[in-house]
Chain A
């Protein structure tokens, strides 16, 4: 189990971004992490995968543990070897390399099973197999997202951290990515899904966390979150009982959010 306990992260020695975040990702599940811009979702993922250093951030308090062993002081290469892999926001494929080469970089820590992992990824994403010699930069947005996910799967990780896989994709493609996430999970990879598209994330996740300004403000099974009136209003854009509402109620300062969980 991947567990985060009371995590505090500071950027540039002064900016406190996460303030005591706790979160559990149980094996075999899909866990969704929702939140507005700047809530600290990506920072939390960076803290788990060890990429804070690049952004001059550091964990000042709390722990990230994998099966009870702390991993928040490890370097990213070690964490990948332990089976935790992050798909960065915005796809970040190696545009100048071919599709094949992109996938091979993903297998950097697990070169001995290259063939079977490659077959698995191409089976999951047949589009990539068609264009395996092509330059990755010329793929469409959806294909690039698939490539980024496939590249992460090349080391056969136990935990896949997905940062906004639906970013900038058309609704049909979002649905396709969602189905792929379910399929990847079925094949035995635990998924922590960070999303702004709450409908999509909650439709596949079993458990959901909601973050705001560096804290976890809600922690419920996905079904309950979907029924929660605040979530419906602020994340799903539905009024109470789907009624039409006056603009006055939408005004942020009139309608204060109250998290009573």
Chain B
């Protein structure tokens, strides 16, 4: 039982990182109808930025500056590369984001070098006992931070003028324009938010083991998360991310005992197996928006 709980909590922690990344995907998708494959590079950029800033500024300030910097990077990408392509087929834009991802990662790899970089987080692999269940501190930090970030984000979309404008523009761009909403700033905002979220996620992914050149692969786990949750649902992205994290963690704990024939490290691919199953049963995901229609 303890083992189960501990594995579950670790999964929630890891899953909240996936949730942050998935939110970035969904926010860009909702505003532009494009899946941005540049998220892994943005995540890596955020983590590397934090690893360079942590020396002079300390961890907390470094994370804040890193998030701001990566948000600016996202904004810059939107302004320079994506903006001229608005109105072109969605597929073209998606492929361009793939190109951005590769180009950006090559540049960032130059900053990583061959050694593993540390983000200088205060947690490392330290463990804490929570009601008798042992959990790594960093997983608790991930979960709590993500909860706060998501609460702020949802409040932003629900109550602020700009958040409402974003939702309106996501629903119907021409009508949003007719209300005086600047749709181009909405696009820019979406990329900035996605960049900021990716930076937070990147920092947490890098806690513990540090940053190497393969770290970006973790960001791809956000894809099963958004497909599980539904491409255009913010709540779905969160729940999808958490579920993927828990599934992965549980498989890692129990698969070798119960299904050793699947081989080592099956947990790494388990999110994608979940994704395939979801696509078979519910192609729009669990929470993909159903059309609001009058009868």
Chain A contact residues, CB within 8 Å of chain B: 49-51, 54, 75-77, 79-81, 85-88, 92-97, 101, 104-106, 108-109, 111, 135, 137-140, 151-152, 155
Contacts and interface: CB of A to CB of B under 8 A. Distances in A.
Contact of B294 (A51, A86, A138): A138
A138 B295 CA distance: 8
B292 A106 contact: no
A108 B179 contact: yes
Contact of A77 (B171, B173, B181, B292): B181
Interface residues of B, number: 21
A54 B167 CA distance: 18
Given A50-B177, A92-B175, A138-B294, 13 more contacts: A76-B180, A85-B179, A88-B178, A92-B178, A95-B171, A97-B164, A97-B171, A104-B164, A105-B179, A106-B179, A109-B180, A155-B179, A155-B180
Contacts of B175: 88, 92-94
A96 B171 CA distance: 8
B293 interface: yes
Nearest to B165: A108
Contact of B178 (A86, A111, A140): A86
Interface of B: 161, 164-165, 167-168, 171-182, 289, 292-294
B178 A76 contact: yes
Contacts, number: 82
A49 to B, nearest CB: 6
Contact of A94 (B172, B182, B289): B172
A111 B173 CA distance: 20
Contacts of A75: 182
Nearest to A114: B161
B37 to A, nearest CB: 27
A137 B292 contact: yes
A152 to B, nearest CB: 8
B148 to A, nearest CB: 24
B294 to A, nearest CB: 6
A29 to B, nearest CB: 22
Contacts of A111: 161
A80 B179 contact: yes
Lowest 3 A-B CB distances belong to which pairs? Answer: A80-B180, A137-B292, A109-B180
Contacts of A54: 173-174, 177
Contacts of B289: 96
Contacts of B293: 137
A187 B171 CA distance: 31
A57 B23 CA distance: 35
Scoring B165, B167, B168, B182 by chain A CB atoms within 10 A of each residue's CB, the highest score goes to B168
Contacts of A86: 178
A168 to B, nearest CB: 12
A125 B295 CA distance: 23
A49 B178 contact: yes
Contacts of A92: 172, 174-175, 178
Contacts of A151: 179
B173 A105 contact: no
